[in-house]
């Protein structure tokens, strides 16, 4: 149970509440909100690599850089809808939310420094600072508002705004909810007590990733309803209503404020109340909205914009770089990538030797090449994943070379069919007269392989995987599905094997949610068991078999404050991943942004190349470009 103090900027849980109850409520609420579909999952996918043969035309806007009287930097913006006027700015209405460049996160993780030096650091944005007394249950976390920026309407950012955001996120059961026992706006800051011990890294990533996108006066009525609610049913009703509410006019905090929008263009102006305002010497940004990637490519090829970001085929990339406008391809990292993902509910694919056999039988480099545009003079987009351990970024910070050397090497650039055959034979399979694998009753080993049709790179890789496994003697059928159906099935666990995802964040706690957690903790359901049997100790494939509770380890990883224990748990999970193969990572990849650097002033682009999470978003939030050359 919970209780609220109506009218007060304070919320406290009853002493009867515990971590498991909070988690169950959070999960049920997220499921309730997302029951209408999986739009959020599609956004998370982050591929935006639509059929490269699509020929949807772009609107007929003027030349890049805006009109004759204004110095506007032109951007091609993928909005995923034929009518951009249907977009709205309430972040809890995930079906039509659009927040690109309008709202800032609490603080920006310095991905570049983490990749270069293995050091975790953050740059405050929408908050001034945050402190944690101790990473233990009952300790106080203090979050203060910034003093160097205002909302786009000129109002100061206050502790009331931060409190509103955190309380609404708690009502929706978002990630921060699991950490908060009581929360109060003191007038100068927001203070909350921790409901559990925390891993400082995991907690800081969760806290700082929150966007300040709910200005108090806009959401005051919603907050009042949440504060006055006394039952879970009441909160669920409020959450459902807020999830369906449209906010037509946004008020954010970023360097650029959205001034006007139409079906043809969005116009952003420099925000005088931002600390970067004095360094920005342009009239604004002109974003041309496109519903599909093909139209976005056309806007770049016809030189109507100064920047275009998104997955782009090699031949198209080369054509764009041959134009007079685009002279640099800037690349950003993706946090989630393609992985062959198994459903443990299927009697065949729950068997570890069978999954290991598939890992040996696949040439991941060939599948990556089939995905397309791996590398060339124009740059690099993707590379095959060599080691199977589940860590997709900052590997050096978590796993050293000595440990990686103890992992089973399944081979990434060849088909190791002898090892694959040995695994299948150990599971009771044999080859029939047609050289196909069958079980002890003579039933063929077959795979229904679901592939999302909206991402052509996944389709091409899926076809390569089908060909490789068929040649090895497994009957594979590729089933292509449009995105909504595919993500619904991925969420519900309605598949045998599919083109799922691996990675997903900057910490092992987040990365290992993909294979081990189900929806709604993650957007894909693998039905992975809580415990698995692996040879132990870690690093010894001939060791005695022990049962490892991966969910217990993950839960502990979110609370462990001792660096040595965090390292120990991470290695255990990496070992489990390697020995049981819950999924087979195919590649890691980069996004692309084609940029005009001949006509515009940019700061330090080379230092951030391949070391930034999103190109479009960072363009706005770092205030790039600064002016005309």
Q: Is residue 555 part of a domain?
A: no
Cis peptide before 432 (omega within 30 of 0): no
Q: Render the burial of 374-384: b for 16+ CB within 10 Å, e for the rest.
A: beeebbebbbb
Residues 235, 93 within the same domain:
no
Residues 342, 319 within the same domain:
no
Q: The CATH number of the domain where 455 resides is what?
A: 3.10.105.10
Q: How far apart are the first and last CA of the chain?
A: 61
Name which residue leads in pLDDT, 523 or 465.
Answer: 465
Residues 263, 391 within the same domain:
no
Q: Is residue 360 part of a domain?
A: yes
Residue listed under structure tokens 């870690």: 538
Tokens of 440: 């002890």
| pLDDT range class, residue 31, cuts 50, 70, 90 | very low
Question: Of the ranges 37-41, 117-121, 478-482, which is most confident?
Answer: 478-482
* Spatial distance between the Cα atoms of 196 and 360, rounded to a whole number of angstroms: 42
Q: Determine which of 146-150, 269-273, 481-485 has the lowest per-residue pLDDT on average.
A: 481-485
Residues 179, 300 within the same domain:
no
> Tell me: the pLDDT tens digits for 391-433?
988 888 889 999 999 999 999 999 999 999 999 999 999 999 9
Q: Is the dihedral of CA 371, 375, 377, 378 positive or negative?
A: positive
For residue 42, pLDDT over 50 is answered with: no
> How many percent of the chain have pLDDT more than 90?
65
> Tell me: the pLDDT tens digits for 552-589?
999 999 888 888 999 999 999 999 999 999 999 999 88
Tokens of 310: 């998104």
| pLDDT range class, residue 29, cuts 50, 70, 90 | very low
For residue 591, pLDDT over 50 is answered with: yes
Final residue of a structural domain among 189, 214, 243: 243
Residue 477, pLDDT score: 96
Final residue of a structural domain among 214, 243, 272: 243
Cis peptide before 520 (omega within 30 of 0): yes
Q: Left (φ > 0), alpha (ψ -120 to 50) or beta: where does 503 sit?
A: left
Q: Is residue 344 part of a domain?
A: yes
For residue 621, pLDDT over 90 is answered with: no
Residues 182, 160 within the same domain:
yes
Residue 605, pLDDT score: 81
Q: Which range marks the domain in which residue 292 is found?
A: 72-102+254-327+596-628
Q: The CATH number of the domain where 180 resides is what?
A: 3.90.76.10
Q: Determine which of 125-134, 162-171, 237-246, 597-606 has the lowest per-residue pLDDT on average.
A: 597-606
Question: Average pLDDT, stretch 486-498?
Answer: 94
Residue 421, pLDDT score: 98
| pLDDT range class, residue 309, cuts 50, 70, 90 | confident
611 burial type by CB count under 10 A (0-12 exposed, 13-18 middle, 19+ buried): middle
If one counts the domains in the chain, the total is 3
Q: Determine which of 17-21, 262-266, 487-491, 583-587 has the lowest per-residue pLDDT on average.
A: 17-21
| pLDDT range class, residue 4, cuts 50, 70, 90 | very low
Helix (H) or strand (E) holding 470, with range, is: helix 456-472
Question: Average pLDDT, stretch 506-531?
Answer: 90
Closest CA to 530 of 545, 547, 513, 551: 551
Residues 452, 509 within the same domain:
yes
Q: What is the mean pLDDT of the chain?
A: 86
> Tell me: the pLDDT tens digits for 56-66?
333 333 344 44
Under 8 Å between Cβ of 194 and 138: yes
Residue 380, pLDDT score: 61
The beta strand positions in 363-522, using DSSP E, are: 375-376, 379-380, 382-384, 430-431, 437-438, 446-452, 475-481, 497-503
The beta strand positions in 346-458, using DSSP E, are: 375-376, 379-380, 382-384, 430-431, 437-438, 446-452
Q: The CATH number of the domain where 277 resides is what?
A: 3.40.190
Final residue of a structural domain among 220, 243, 266: 243
Q: Is residue 67 part of a domain?
A: no
| pLDDT range class, residue 352, cuts 50, 70, 90 | very high
Q: Is residue 520 part of a domain?
A: yes
Residue 10, pLDDT score: 61
Q: Is residue 545 part of a domain?
A: no
Residue 326, pLDDT score: 94
Residue 45, pLDDT score: 36
Residue 312, pLDDT score: 79
For residue 230, pLDDT over 50 is answered with: yes
Under 8 Å between Cβ of 3 and 12: yes
What residues are paired with 234 via a beta bridge?
none
| Whole-structure pTM value | 0.82
Question: Average pLDDT, stretch 537-552?
Answer: 96
Residues 406, 448 within the same domain:
yes
* Spatial distance between the Cα atoms of 182 and 14, rounded to a whole number of angstroms: 9
Residues 147, 285 within the same domain:
no
Residues 89, 141 within the same domain:
no
Residue 189, pLDDT score: 98
Name which residue leads in pLDDT, 76 or 218.
Answer: 218
For residue 242, pLDDT over 90 is answered with: yes
Residues 416, 450 within the same domain:
yes
Q: Is residue 532 part of a domain?
A: no
Residues 30, 157 within the same domain:
yes
> How many percent of the chain have pLDDT more than 70?
88
For residue 12, pLDDT over 70 is answered with: no
Residue 19, pLDDT score: 40
Residue 249, pLDDT score: 94
R_g (Cα) of the chain, nearest Å: 25
Q: Is residue 217 part of a domain?
A: yes
Question: Average pLDDT, stretch 47-74?
Answer: 50
Residue 375, pLDDT score: 60
Residue 550, pLDDT score: 97
* Spatial distance between the Cα atoms of 251 and 236, rounded to a whole number of angstroms: 26
Residue 354, pLDDT score: 98
Residues 377, 275 within the same domain:
no
């Amino acid at each position: 149970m919970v209780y609220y103090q109506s009218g007060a900027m304070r919320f406290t849980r009853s002493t009867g509440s515990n971590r498991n109850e909070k988690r169950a409520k959070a999960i049920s609420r997220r499921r309730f909100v997302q029951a209408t579909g999986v739009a959020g999952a599609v956004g998370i996918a982050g591929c935006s690599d639509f059929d490269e043969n699509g020929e949807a035309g772009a609107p007929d806007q003027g030349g890049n850089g805006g009109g004759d009287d204004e110095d506007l930097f032109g951007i091609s913006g993928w909005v995923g809808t034929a009518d951009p006027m249907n977009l709205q700015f309430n972040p809890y209405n995930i079906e039509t939310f659009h927040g690109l460049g309008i709202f800032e996160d609490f603080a920006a993780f310095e991905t570049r420094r983490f990749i270069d030096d293995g050091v975790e650091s953050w740059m405050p944005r929408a908050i001034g600072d945050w402190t944690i007394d101790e990473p233990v249950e009952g300790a106080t976390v203090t979050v203060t508002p910034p003093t160097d920026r205002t909302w786009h309407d000129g109002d100061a950012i206050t502790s009331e705004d931060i409190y509103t955001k955190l309380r609404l996120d708690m009502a929706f059961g978002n990630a921060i909810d699991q950490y908060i026992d009581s929360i109060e706006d003191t007038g100068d800051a927001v203070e909350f007590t921790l409901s559990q011990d925390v891993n400082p890294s995991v907690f800081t990533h969760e806290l700082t990733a929150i966007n300040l996108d709910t200005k108090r006066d806009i959401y005051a009525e919603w907050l009042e309803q949440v504060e006055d609610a006394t039952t879970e049913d009441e909160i669920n009703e409020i959450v459902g209503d807020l999830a369906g509410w449209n906010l037509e006019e946004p008020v954010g905090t970023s360097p650029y404020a959205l001034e006007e929008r139409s079906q043809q263009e969005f116009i952003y102006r420099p925000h005088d109340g931002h600390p970067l305002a004095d360094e920005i010497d342009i009239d604004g940004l002109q974003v041309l909205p496109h519903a599909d990637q093909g139209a976005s490519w056309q806007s770049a090829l016809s030189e109507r914009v100064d920047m275009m970001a998104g997955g782009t085929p090699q031949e198209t990339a080369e054509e764009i770089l041959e134009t007079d406008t685009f002279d640099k391809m800037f690349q950003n990292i993706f946090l989630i990538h393609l992985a062959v993902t198994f459903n443990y509910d299927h009697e065949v694919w729950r068997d570890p030797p069978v999954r290991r056999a598939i890992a040996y039988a696949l040439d991941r480099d060939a599948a990556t090449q089939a995905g397309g545009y791996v590398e060339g003079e124009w740059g690099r987009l993707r590379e095959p994943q060599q080691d199977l351990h589940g860590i997709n970024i900052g590997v050096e910070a978590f796993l050293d070379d000595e440990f990686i050397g103890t992992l089973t090497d399944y081979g990434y650039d060849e088909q190791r069919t002898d090892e694959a055959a040995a695994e299948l034979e150990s599971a009771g399979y044999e080859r029939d007269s047609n050289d196909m694998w069958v079980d002890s009753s003579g039933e063929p080993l077959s795979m229904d392989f679901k592939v999302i049709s909206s991402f052509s790179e996944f389709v091409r890789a899926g076809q390569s995987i089908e060909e490789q496994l068929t040649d090895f003697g497994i009957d594979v059928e590729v089933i292509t599905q449009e995105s909504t159906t595919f993500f619904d099935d991925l969420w519900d666990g309605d598949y045998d094997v599919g083109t799922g995802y691996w990675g997903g964040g900057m910490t092992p706690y987040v990365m290992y949610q993909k294979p081990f957690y189900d929806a709604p903790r993650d957007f894909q359901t693998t039905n992975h068991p809580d415990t698995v049997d692996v040879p132990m100790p870690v690093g010894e494939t001939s060791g005695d078999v022990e049962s490892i509770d991966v969910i217990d380890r993950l839960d502990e990883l979110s609370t462990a404050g001792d660096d040595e224990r965090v390292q120990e748990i991470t290695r255990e999970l990496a070992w489990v991943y390697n020995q049981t193969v819950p999924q087979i990572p195919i590649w890691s990849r980069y996004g692309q942004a084609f940029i005009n650097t001949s006509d515009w002033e940019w700061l330090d682009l080379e230092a951030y190349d391949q070391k930034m999470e999103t190109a479009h978003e960072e363009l706005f939030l770092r205030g790039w470009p600064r002016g005309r050359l």
